[in-house]
Structure 1
Amino acid sequence: MLDYKLKVWNKSPLQRLAVFASAVALLSGCSVKNFTTQEVKAETIKPKEQNNMGQKNKGQSSTKPNIVYIVLDDSGFSDLGSYGSEIKTPNLDMLAENGLRYNNSHVTPVCSPTRAALLTGRNPHSVGMSTVANFDLGPEYPNKRGRIKPEAGTIAEVLKDEGYNSYALGKWHLSPSHQATAAGPYENWPLAKGFDRFYGILEDSSDQYKPELVQDNSFIDVPEKENYHFSEDIVNRANQYVTDQASVNPEKPFFMYLAFGAQHQPVQVPQKYIDMYKGVYDKGWDKIREERFNKQKELGIISKDAKLAPLNPGVKPWDQLSADEKKAFAHFQEAYAGFLTHTDEQIGRFIDNLRSIGQLDNTMIVFLSDNGASAMGKNTGSINHTLAYNDIPEKLEDIVGKMDQFGSNKTKIEFPAGWAQVSNTPFKLYKSTMFEAGTRTPMIVYYPKGIKAKGEIRNQYVHVSDITPTVYDLAGIKLPKEIKGVKQMPLHGESFANTLTDAKAPGKKMQYYENNGQHAIYHDGWKAIALHAKGQPYDKDVWELYNVVEDPSETNNLSAKHPEKLKELQKLWEKEAKKYDVLPMSDVMGDGFLAIPSDSIRARNTFTFYPGMSLLPEGASPFIINRPYTITVPINREKASDEGVLVALGNYESGYTLYIKDNKLVYEYNIGTKIYRVESEVPIGQATIKYEFKPTEQHKGIGSLYINDKKTGEVTIDQTHKFKVSFEGLDIGRDTHYPVSPEYADKGIFTFTGELEKVVYELH
């Protein structure tokens, strides 16, 4: 029925659109079976009836296709039912059964570069986003500035000139953390990058119950709604945006970037979704990984002769774990699975809404994950993701003691590395690495107007930078030479539009990779990987070589057997690195949080904050790690009952707070495993409060309280944070979101009831 697609391939863009428009009337609905890959013993969501994928004519629709990118965070290659998982993802599986699954689709091994490549159609180094946006290494590293260069216009900017409205929802993570303030600068926020509307978070890992929400260019409060959840909220907004457009401007097409915070830590989801998987993972990660591997072969996701990679270093076989380890670790995975099923349910609500407003058949949906599953939970799993980011070990007894809080607003969990390898089945290692586990993720393309062979699998090598060029190709859009007066760099991605109708169409031949010093290159079925040790010269890196066509799980290193092929790929990597601005490389990891460029707000040594200031995200707050500093607060208390928070940064996981309660001045520093506390009496009337920190050695120091320049108490702090104090920001005169101290957790935001003139930070 859609053979016309091949016939018009060489026609002009306008001719293509005309043919596409004439085909809309010919397209009819298709029957869809409820797709499940394995029975789960617990109660599950029932997929909605999919027996009429087509819609009746509902008003006037655009002749141009709507475009939707749906992105998950930290979800591995095998997590979807349609890619071999026991996790229930009926709505994504429906898209797969009525679209195409790509089993050789690649991204960058961390999130921000993937998102930059997706939205621009270029390689991430060239556009200035070679690592996570938290790390702005300054002008010396133009490829690591945490922002997309103006020379690389986004798809939203391009489609704006084609008559599209564009909406971004969810996780952005494409502007430097130090720019994520209520006062801007805004030039790297979504609206400045071509989107008409934005609703979501600017940084990397949001709490699902109390996110630091932004609407358009303004920070806003979390909606006062019982059982609020971020994933549900962004889909509610997405549905509102497209419903408004279909109702008022149905002749205009839309582009939507729907980027979930799921499956990134913290894993937080209502208990009923966790309960769906009760007991499912008691058999352990060895058995589940084997079952997924066999299912992948049955589905054709991997070849019949593919091998299952051995357990990753440090991951114990399940039968060697203690009873407490098995109990806790299985529960981690129950929460992760429930989180994914919940996310899939939200995607289903969005699909249902598109159908109800008559837009589903005219919409191209591309689904992917931004990188493989993460080992941030390390061997034990994590209940405090600030500890995980600061390489502070967590005790198994603490984890077991909070199992009943998994998924709730009282913990911020991440599963153990053993389950991350399950997510990445059949591959070895994890996110952040150059191996397939880091870069190979599911990609589903659902496009009724362009896909005839529904439910098929495509084996072509595809890179995330190829997706937007494919959209431009299908829509007949030519990249503008300039956007906002800035000359545009060429697209680096290659359209894979031919693969939608031709299973034998060629895939991409070559793609380089680099992340924080680790680097690799793929070329025509071969892949060379440089294993880099932090701090060593790059010419000392050890290279491995794999034939990923014959050995997709990279179990057979052929570098010794084929040295000529390795040299060939090494030369290609050097060529690509020069071509796409990979150099200079830097091998920062967690210490990237410590990079403070001179043009950043955090480079200042003095800050003056006033009552009423919006919450300031931690990544833009005064940089206190391993530095002497003071916090000075002039106040006036007319009566002894005047109390409340003066300064607070963080939440129950970690942070610091200075407050008055029960007529006492208190400072607390919460490292995550221990709270350091100092207090003193505080007078009525005017007073100048000061907290002073003096480092005594690396990550240690003395904290002192002063009132009117008189020292009133001190505390020895024998451990401070290495990289990041918290994932919740700074409040002045109150403590919004989650309280830092349990001592005032019952007080709400605990606004200071006296007079607070200002808060002055001085860093030395």
Structure 2
Amino acid sequence: MIKHLLITPLLFALVSSSVAQDSPPNVLLIVADDMGYSDIGPFGGEIATPTLDALAKQGLQLTNYHVLASCSPSRSILLSGMDNHRAGLGTMSELLTEQAKGKPGYEGYLNHRVAALPEVLKANGYRTYMVGKWHLGEDESTIPHARGFDETFVLVGGGGSHWSDGQWVTPTVPVKYSRNGKEVKSLPEDFYSTKNYTDNLIEWIKRDQDSDKPFFAYLSYTAPHDPLHAPQKYIDKYKGTYDGGWDTLREKRLQKLKELGVINKDARPFPRLPTVKAWEELPEDERALAARDMEVYAAMVDYMDGQINRVIDQLKSVGQYENTLIIFFSDNGANGSSLATYPGQTSEYMNRFDNRLENRGLKNSLIDMGPGWAQASMSPGRMFKGFTAEGGIRSPLLVKLPGKMANAGSINQSFLHIRDIMPTILDAANIKQPATQFAGRLVQPIQGTSMLPLLEGRELDTGPDVREVGYELFGMKAFFAGRWKVLWMPTPHGTSEWELFDLKQDPGELNDLGKKYPQKLMELVARWEQYKKENGVLDLSSGGGK
């Protein structure tokens, strides 16, 4: 039976911290790429994720965790504990406008005014590994090997083919891999991103198993980011699963979320976008193609879960599992944007690929999930990746502390933010946060707050200071304070005015309470303006957005 942590003070006395460790813990930080809130089993998904299901039972399930609306801004906060405008990714490097170029906080890479998480851990005796997506800088001073990682095998940019062919997502963005700071010129013929990332990490863990140093492993998968690719047998596993369409899937996910206690039983989903047709209105051939796309997406998540299990098995085999802090989440919401709309895309380039039904998801295909499936994956949220609405920024978070957790299997609904990950890891490792200097350079103090007291059961909820967070990305804005959120998005997906929502009652952001509570609306808008000043935010709401 699921135990909720927000019940009575009695539970506070009953929940003890995890088993004390004799040595600093290892840290396994696993980040999925563009994965939806309700995709995995603990959050209502029908996709087979037994490894993550087990992790939720052994750890804690955090249901009110927020990230950024897009890849690189999210990752800049993850590795700095700082607002993205302070860390250098006020917007994605691919979308820098003339208005933003050259401004502090808009460098387009993880800047050196922040102390990066791997740098701090390495300086305090950790071995540091990274595999997968970086997307935080491409030159010698900004690639991961220059920011504190000992061993790296990374996709330097934002995306590309998951196979060995190195096909680009658009004709203007090449696929570039790097190993320990040196470009990888070719990939093995049997390369598949999720498998090979995992292979490299397992190799390093096995090689260094006798080391007296703890490790930090950043397992940064590119699944299930488009283009959607998966091995044939995994795609076949989901044949027919999505023939009922996105409306049916979204409703099933919604009911499961309520049944699990992840959202309240009265929650309503944001309606299907008017630009997305009802499933039954699609011609039969279009339904077949769309169902196949979701089958491939599900196969990618399923395969990723199996690879995570390989890493966990390796940790167990070398006796390190019980001394490892494991964190899993997605960097942003599911992606509802079409590949055809990406910057630099051309129809001529897209026509090079074989997207027939029988080849979709295999080599030389270029497909995405589209807005219908993305809305289902983000049930009950409004919108998806790229938007500061809940569908773009709410992520499923699982955390397992070292040892046995007394609150294992519990659900916690405290508001948490991606900026809290770095201070939590440092706290667990008993490492002091950098203040104003690190490695001979001036840095900014971390803005996030450690979640460790909550994870260990010493606190039942995060305090009001932690629960206030500002947002701006692509000209869209938001501010959180407790259960309240104000949101500004331009038309047609927003109103071009500030809206006020009570997220505890209305996670789908359907009921604007601005007119009912005008003082609360004005108060939070004023706090956003203060956030803007404190973090050097350029207000791009009049242009230069996504």
Query: TM-score, normalised on structure 2?
Result: 0.89
Q: Does 1:284 align with 2:269?
A: no
- Matched residue of 2:216: which SS? strand
- Matched residue of 1:527: which SS? strand
Q: Does 1:427 align with 2:381?
A: yes
- Distance of 2:529 and 2:545 partners within structure 1: 23
- Distance of 1:553 and 1:387 partners within structure 2: 26
- Distance of 2:37 and 2:428 partners within structure 1: 27
Is the Cα contact below 8 Å between 1:133 and 1:173 reproduced in 2?
Answer: no
Task: Give how far 1:492 is off.
Answer: 0.4
Is the Cα contact below 8 Å between 2:70 and 2:332 reproduced in 1?
Answer: yes
Aligned with residue 560 of structure 1, among 508, 511, 515: 515
- Distance of 2:491 and 2:355 partners within structure 1: 37
1:99-114 correspondence runs (5 A): 99-114=59-74
> Counterpart amino acid of 1:146?
G
Is the Cα contact below 8 Å between 1:95 and 1:444 reproduced in 2?
Answer: yes
- Matched residue of 2:217: which SS? strand
Query: TM-score, normalised on structure 1?
Result: 0.64
Task: Give how far 1:541 is off.
Answer: 3.9
Aligned with residue 120 of structure 2, among 158, 164, 184: 158
Is the Cα contact below 8 Å between 2:423 and 2:433 reproduced in 1?
Answer: no
Q: Which residue of 2 aligns with 1:645?
A: none
- Matched residue of 2:478: which SS? strand
> Counterpart amino acid of 1:505?
D
Q: Which residue of 1 aligns with 2:183?
A: 219
Is the Cα contact below 8 Å between 1:297 and 1:303 reproduced in 2?
Answer: yes
- Distance of 1:446 and 1:439 partners within structure 2: 22
CA deviations over 1:651-682 (Å, ceiling 9, x no partner): xxxxxxxxxxxxxxxxxxxxxxxxxxxxxxxx
Aligned with residue 460 of structure 2, among 485, 499, 504: 504
- Matched residue of 2:79: which SS? helix
Q: Does 1:413 align with 2:375?
A: no
Task: Give how far 1:338 is off.
Answer: 0.7
- Distance of 1:75 and 1:254 partners within structure 2: 26
Q: Which residue of 1 aligns with 2:433?
A: 479
RMSD: 2.6
Q: Does 1:353 align with 2:314?
A: yes
- Matched residue of 1:258: which SS? strand
Is the Cα contact below 8 Å between 1:127 and 1:149 reproduced in 2?
Answer: yes
> Counterpart amino acid of 1:217?
G
Aligned with residue 523 of structure 1, among 481, 485, 498: 481
Task: Give how far 1:390 is off.
Answer: 4.7
Q: Which residue of 2 aligns with 1:305?
A: 266
Q: Does 1:253 align with 2:214?
A: yes
Q: How many residues were matched structurally?
A: 514
1:162-241 correspondence runs (5 A): 162-175=124-137, 180=138, 185-210=139-164, 211=166, 212-225=176-189, 227-241=190-204
- Matched residue of 2:411: which SS? strand
- Distance of 2:287 and 2:101 partners within structure 1: 48
Task: Give how far 1:158 is off.
Answer: 0.7
> Counterpart amino acid of 1:459?
Q
Query: Which runs of 4 or more aligned residues in structure 1 lie more than 6 Å from their structure 2 counterparts after TM superposition?
Result: 396-401
Q: Which residue of 1 aligns with 2:538?
A: 583
Task: Give how far 1:570 is off.
Answer: 0.6
Q: Which residue of 2 aligns with 1:547?
A: 502
CA deviations over 1:620-676 (Å, ceiling 9, x no partner): xxxxxxxxxxxxxxxxxxxxxxxxxxxxxxxxxxxxxxxxxxxxxxxxxxxxxxxxx
Identity percentage of aligned residues: 35
> Counterpart amino acid of 1:275?
D
Q: Which residue of 2 aligns with 1:457?
A: 411
Task: Give how far 1:588 is off.
Answer: 2.6
Q: Which residue of 2 aligns with 1:116?
A: 76
Structure 1 pair 399/87, CA: closer, same or farther in 2 (3 Å)? farther
Q: Which residue of 1 aligns with 2:106?
A: 144
Is the Cα contact below 8 Å between 2:475 and 2:545 reproduced in 1?
Answer: no
Q: Which residue of 1 aligns with 2:444?
A: 489
Q: Which residue of 1 aligns with 2:231?
A: 270
Structure 1 pair 150/94, CA: closer, same or farther in 2 (3 Å)? same
- Matched residue of 1:426: which SS? coil
> Counterpart amino acid of 1:69?
L
Select the structure of larger CA radius of gyration. 1
Is the Cα contact below 8 Å between 1:368 and 1:441 reproduced in 2?
Answer: yes
Task: Give how far 1:474 is off.
Answer: 2.1
Q: Does 1:129 align with 2:85?
A: no
- Distance of 1:584 and 1:559 partners within structure 2: 22
- Distance of 1:496 and 1:446 partners within structure 2: 12
- Distance of 1:80 and 1:438 partners within structure 2: 17
Task: Give how far 1:297 is off.
Answer: 0.9
CA deviations over 1:317-366 (Å, ceiling 9, x no partner): 21222111211111111111111111111111111111111111110011
- Distance of 1:399 and 1:255 partners within structure 2: 39
- Distance of 1:469 and 1:365 partners within structure 2: 15
Is the Cα contact below 8 Å between 2:146 and 2:181 reproduced in 1?
Answer: no
- Distance of 1:296 and 1:264 partners within structure 2: 23
Is the Cα contact below 8 Å between 1:510 and 1:522 reproduced in 2?
Answer: yes
Q: Which residue of 1 aligns with 2:3?
A: none
Task: Give how far 1:311 is off.
Answer: 1.0
- Distance of 1:532 and 1:90 partners within structure 2: 40
CA deviations over 1:6-49 (Å, ceiling 9, x no partner): 99x9xxxxxx99x8335xxxxxxxxxxxxxxxxxxxxxxxxxxx
Is the Cα contact below 8 Å between 2:335 and 2:370 reproduced in 1?
Answer: no
Structure 1 pair 397/313, CA: closer, same or farther in 2 (3 Å)? farther
Task: Give how far 1:391 is off.
Answer: 6.6
Aligned with residue 284 of structure 2, among 323, 330, 337: 323
Is the Cα contact below 8 Å between 2:132 and 2:219 reproduced in 1?
Answer: yes
> Counterpart amino acid of 2:107?
R
Structure 1 pair 386/313, CA: closer, same or farther in 2 (3 Å)? closer
Is the Cα contact below 8 Å between 2:354 and 2:365 reproduced in 1?
Answer: no
> Counterpart amino acid of 1:563?
P
- Distance of 2:405 and 2:116 partners within structure 1: 25
Q: Does 1:574 align with 2:537?
A: no
Is the Cα contact below 8 Å between 1:324 and 1:400 reproduced in 2?
Answer: no
Is the Cα contact below 8 Å between 1:105 and 1:442 reproduced in 2?
Answer: yes
CA deviations over 1:496-515 (Å, ceiling 9, x no partner): 11211337232532011110
- Matched residue of 2:125: which SS? coil
> Counterpart amino acid of 2:444?
M
- Matched residue of 1:542: which SS? coil
Higher mean C-alpha deviation, range 133-142 or range 556-565: 133-142
1:539-688 correspondence runs (5 A): 541-583=496-538, 585=540, 587-589=543-545
- Distance of 1:565 and 1:391 partners within structure 2: 43
> Counterpart amino acid of 1:564?
Q
> Counterpart amino acid of 2:314?
N
CA deviations over 1:453-499 (Å, ceiling 9, x no partner): 11111100000000111112222211234222112211100111121
> Counterpart amino acid of 2:325?
M
Structure 1 pair 397/203, CA: closer, same or farther in 2 (3 Å)? closer
Is the Cα contact below 8 Å between 1:135 and 1:145 reproduced in 2?
Answer: no
Is the Cα contact below 8 Å between 2:416 and 2:467 reproduced in 1?
Answer: no
> Counterpart amino acid of 2:258?
K
Q: Which runs of 5+ in 1 are unaligned?
A: 1-5, 10-15, 23-62, 378-384, 535-539, 591-764
- Distance of 2:308 and 2:277 partners within structure 1: 35
- Matched residue of 1:310: which SS? coil
Task: Give how far 1:255 is off.
Answer: 0.5
- Matched residue of 2:285: which SS? helix
- Distance of 1:405 and 1:343 partners within structure 2: 21
Task: Give how far 1:418 is off.
Answer: 0.3
Structure 1 pair 147/570, CA: closer, same or farther in 2 (3 Å)? same
Is the Cα contact below 8 Å between 1:199 and 1:215 reproduced in 2?
Answer: yes
Higher helix fraction: Structure 1 or Structure 2? 2
